[in-house]
């Protein structure tokens, strides 16, 4: 039985795994009237990932871009149980989820298994390393809030160590070399933020070493931002050139050592590039729990890239399981836009499921009454048929936006049937207003606006916690 306070035994149990873009937009739109809802995620908050690169250099403070999951669930009509825990196993045959408290502080209960009637699977992805040696040990990632904090600490450590009395010239060059691997939007936006930090703040605070800072972006393909249009790629690459960000394309990282990356260039030549800070942004791969779930459904789950779902986001091969976001393998890119639209769509599917269950119950009761009005039965059947009819998920692309540093942003907007690449105040304003308007709450908006104002007035804080 569902281990849940206030659970109504007449209602089905809906378990939601995750608190990211997919799960949060689902929860926000979900009508909890018809289900006992349980949310399980190792993170007790939602993270606004598009602004994460800004946290790495202190343009934004970490807490400005997160919102507790309970902020959403506590306003729901019926109680929603939220557990800070990591789902360890999904059994699609027994319809159970096993989850574990993985935090530092533990009580008597650490491992729990619950039954579900419906499961919304939205656990996202983990960082792709392609099994390259040394990545996990020596590189920083840029996916979670803790990653951005780690990057911020490491940058300052490199700079302070470079400025240390008697530091050798060779070590200063290494420590002040910030290398980013992966020229997708994450790598590009991070390189842009780092450049701003150098120009706006480092020159003021660390004049003795600031000029030695170098940023290198390494990309295996012939250009950065492969998913953007040619014009926007050129604009980004020329902006990076102006900003003295070295872009090494057709260059593949083969090995990561403690102080240098080993790369192979277009001529198949192997060389070492020394670094102080290494940020690894080469995309996504499935989490272990997702691979385990695929392993239980091998007949139909045949894509290593992610889970296969039908047009209604129902997981192939499993009854009552739905999947959204980065953990799925669909024709859409793994983006926040897709995950949040899928979450909203899925909430509408559950609304219909709730209606359908109610109508089925009504119909059973009506049919059991000898004096029931046949017209009423017929009307209920019609309503039931309507509730049972679902329209497939349809993605509406609102455009792609990326900040590339020095107050320049690029935008791929379907509205203008083309691309807008622009710099200066207008682009910056557009980028900022687009993100501020999609932030989760008034609290987040206020905090982000205040952080931007603080940085403009006082500059970024270079102290190390
Ligand atoms: P996530 O948002 O990653 O959420 C997954 C959730 O599952 C998390 O809460 C996690 O804690 C939880 N979880 C993990 N393991 C378990 C488990 N075992 N059990 C239970 N829960 C679990 N996209 C855009 O469209 N525009 C952008 O500008 C943009 N910028 C980005 C910038 C950065 C730096 C990054 C990293 C990504 C960016 N993206 C952007 C991509 C976007 O963030 C993802 O596509 C989106 O987060 C996917 O949503 P999701 O819900 O599938 O996964
Ligand atoms: P990505 O998959 O988009 O890009 C990773 C890049 O790393 C690729 O270009 C790949 O060729 C390169 N690469 C892989 N292995 C390499 C190696 N060994 N050496 C050198 N280069 C290597 O990853 P991402 O940038 O993290 O983005 C992930 C998803 O999140 C995408 O769907 C993206 O659209 C989305 N996102 C969007 C935005 C935005 O819209 N502003 C920002 C960040 C992320």
CATH of 135-284+397-458, one of 3.30.1490.20, 3.30.1330.10, 3.50.50.100, 3.10.580.10: 3.50.50.100
Domain spans of the chain, in order of start: 13-42+85-125+286-347, 135-284+397-458
Q: Write out pLDDT tens, residues 347-401.
A: 999 999 999 999 999 999 999 998 889 999 999 999 999 988 999 999 999 888 8
Which residue's CA is the nearest one to ligand 2's atom 36?
A: 185
| Count of other CB atoms within 10 angstroms of residue 70 | 14
Which residues sit opposite 253 in a β-bridge?
Answer: 263
Long-range interactions of 250-256: CB distance < 8 A, separation 24+? 250/219, 250/220, 250/221, 250/222, 251/218, 251/219, 251/220, 252/220, 253/132, 253/181, 253/218, 253/220, 254/132, 255/132, 255/133, 255/134, 256/132, 256/133, 256/134, 256/135, 256/137, 256/138, 256/139
Minimum mean pLDDT range among 39-48, 247-256, 278-287, 383-392: 383-392
Say what the pLDDT of residue 130 is: 97
* CA 345 / ligand 2 centre spacing (Å): 26
Q: Which ligand is nearest to the CA of 100?
A: 1
Which residues sit opposite 423 in a β-bridge?
Answer: 408
Is 422 a residue whose pLDDT tops 70?
A: no
Q: Is the CB of 248 under 6 A from ligand 2?
A: no
CATH of 13-42+85-125+286-347, one of 3.20.190.10, 3.30.70.1350, 3.50.50.60, 3.90.1150.110: 3.50.50.60
Residue indicated by tokens 């908006």:
445
Say what the pLDDT of residue 7 is: 84
Residue-wise burial string across 351-376, b where 16 or more C-beta atoms lie within 10 A, e elsewhere? bebbbbbebeeebeebeeeeeeeeee
Which residue's CA is the nearest one to ligand 1's atom 29?
A: 50
C-alpha distance from residue 245 to each of 180, 213, 240 (Å) = 10, 10, 5
Q: Is the CB of 328 under 6 A from ligand 1?
A: no
Q: Write out pLDDT tens, residues 181-208.
A: 999 999 999 999 999 998 999 999 999 9
Predicted confidence band of residue 158 (pLDDT cuts 50, 70, 90): very high
Minimum mean pLDDT range among 91-100, 335-344, 392-401, 445-454: 392-401
Which residue's CA is the nearest one to ligand 1's atom 28?
A: 50
Domains 13-42+85-125+286-347 and 135-284+397-458 agree in fold: yes
Is 464 a residue whose pLDDT tops 90?
A: no
Question: Which structure tokens are listed for 376?
Answer: 């009423």
Is 5 a residue whose pLDDT tops 60?
A: no
Predicted confidence band of residue 271 (pLDDT cuts 50, 70, 90): very high
Q: Which ligand is nearest to the CA of 225?
A: 2
CA separation for the pair 24, 315 (Å, rounded): 19
* CA 174 / ligand 1 centre spacing (Å): 32
Cα dihedral sign, 406-412-417-419: positive
Helix axes 336-368, 21-29, angle to 10 degrees: 40
* CA 299 / ligand 2 centre spacing (Å): 30
- Radius of gyration of the chain measured on its C-alpha atoms: 25
Among candidates 145, 425, 334, 141, which has minimal Cα distance to 256?
141
- Do 342 and 313 touch, CB atoms closer than 8 A? yes
Determine the straight-line distance between the first and last CA of the chain, rounded to whole angstroms. 46
Q: Is the CB of 252 under 6 A from ligand 2?
A: yes
Cα dihedral sign, 160-161-167-171: negative
Is 109 a residue whose pLDDT tops 90?
A: no
Question: Which structure tokens are listed for 55?
Answer: 């946290």
Instruction: Read off the pLDDT of each residue in 14-24 and give the average, rounded to a whole number.
Output: 98
Burial class of 74 by CB neighbour count within 10 A (0 to 12, 13 to 18, 19+): exposed
> What percent of the chain has pLDDT above 70?
96
What is the maximum alpha-carbon separation in the chain? 97
Q: Is the CB of 22 under 6 A from ligand 1?
A: yes
Is 345 a residue whose pLDDT tops 60?
A: yes
Instruction: Read off the pLDDT of each residue in 322-333 and give the average, rounded to a whole number.
Output: 97
Which residue's CA is the nearest one to ligand 2's atom 15?
A: 282
Backbone angles phi and psi of 250, in degrees to 5: 50, 30
* CA 284 / ligand 2 centre spacing (Å): 8
- Do 275 and 158 touch, CB atoms closer than 8 A? no
CA separation for the pair 354, 356 (Å, rounded): 5
Predicted confidence band of residue 414 (pLDDT cuts 50, 70, 90): confident
Look up the pTM and report it: 0.96
C-alpha distance from residue 449 to each of 305, 403, 422, 428, 453 (Å) = 37, 17, 22, 13, 6
Torsion angle, CA of 14/20/22/23, rounded to 10 degrees? 10
ipTM of the complex: 0.98
* CA 181 / ligand 2 centre spacing (Å): 9
Q: Which ligand is nearest to the CA of 180?
A: 2
Which residue's CA is the nearest one to ligand 2's atom 12?
A: 182
Q: Is the CB of 354 under 6 A from ligand 1?
A: no
185 contact partners, CB below 8 Å, separation of at least 6: 225, 227, 400, 402
Mean pLDDT of all residues belonging to the chain:
94
- Do 47 and 70 touch, CB atoms closer than 8 A? no
CA separation for the pair 419, 413 (Å, rounded): 6
Q: Write out pLDDT tens, residues 205-229.
A: 999 999 999 999 999 999 999 988 8
């Amino acid at each position: 039985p569902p281990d849940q306070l206030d659970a109504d035994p007449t209602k089905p149990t809906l378990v939601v795994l995750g608190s990211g873009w997919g799960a949060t937009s689902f929860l926000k739109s979900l009508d909890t009237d018809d289900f006992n809802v349980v949310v399980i995620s190792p993170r007790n908050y939602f993270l606004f990932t598009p602004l994460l690169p800004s946290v790495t250099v202190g343009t934004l403070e970490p807490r400005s871009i997160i919102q507790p999951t309970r902020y959403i669930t506590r306003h729901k009509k019926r109680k929603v149980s939220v557990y800070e825990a990591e789902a360890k196993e999904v059994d699609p045959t027994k319809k159970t989820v096993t989850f574990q408290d993985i935090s530092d502080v533990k009580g008597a209960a650490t491992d729990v298994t619950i039954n579900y009637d419906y499961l919304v699977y939205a656990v996202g992805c983990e960082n792709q390393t392609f099994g390259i040696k040394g990545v996990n040990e020596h590189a920083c990632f840029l996916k979670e809030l803790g990653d951005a904090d780690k990057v911020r600490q490491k940058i300052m450590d490199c700079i302070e160590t470079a400025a240390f009395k008697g530091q050798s010239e060779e070590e200063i060059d290494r420590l002040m070399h910030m290398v980013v691997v992966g020229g997708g939007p994450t790598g590009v936006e991070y390189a842009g933020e780092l450049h701003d930090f150098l120009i706006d703040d480092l020159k003021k605070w660390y004049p003795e070493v600031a000029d030695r800072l170098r940023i290198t972006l390494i990309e295996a393909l012939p250009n950065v931002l492969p998913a953007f249009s040619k014009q926007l790629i050129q604009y980004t690459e020329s902006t990076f050139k102006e900003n003295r960000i070295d872009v090494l394309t057709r260059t593949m990282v083969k090995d990561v050592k403690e102080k240098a990356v080993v790369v192979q260039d277009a001529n198949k030549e192997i060389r070492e590039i020394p670094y102080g800070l290494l940020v690894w942004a080469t995309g996504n791969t499935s989490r272990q729990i997702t691979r385990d779930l695929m392993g239980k459904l091998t007949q139909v789950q045949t894509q290593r890239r992610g889970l296969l779902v039908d047009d209604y986001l129902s997981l192939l091969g499993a009854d009552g399981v739905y999947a959204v976001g980065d953990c799925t393998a669909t024709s859409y890119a793994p983006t926040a836009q897709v995950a949040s639209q899928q979450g909203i769509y899925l909430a509408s599917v559950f609304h219909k499921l709730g209606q359908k269950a109610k109508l089925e119950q009504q119909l059973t009761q009506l049919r059991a009454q000898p004096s029931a009005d046949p017209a009423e039965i017929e009307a209920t059947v019609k309503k039931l048929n309507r509730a049972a009819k679902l329209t497939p998920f349809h993605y509406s692309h609102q455009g792609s936006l990326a900040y590339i540093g020095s107050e320049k942003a690029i935008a791929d907007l379907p509205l203008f049937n083309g691309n807008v690449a622009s710099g200066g105040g207008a682009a910056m304003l557009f980028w900022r207003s687009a993100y501020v308007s999609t932030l989760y709450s008034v609290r987040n908006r206020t905090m982000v606006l205040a952080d931007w104002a603080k940085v403009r007035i006082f500059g970024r804080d270079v102290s190390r916690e």
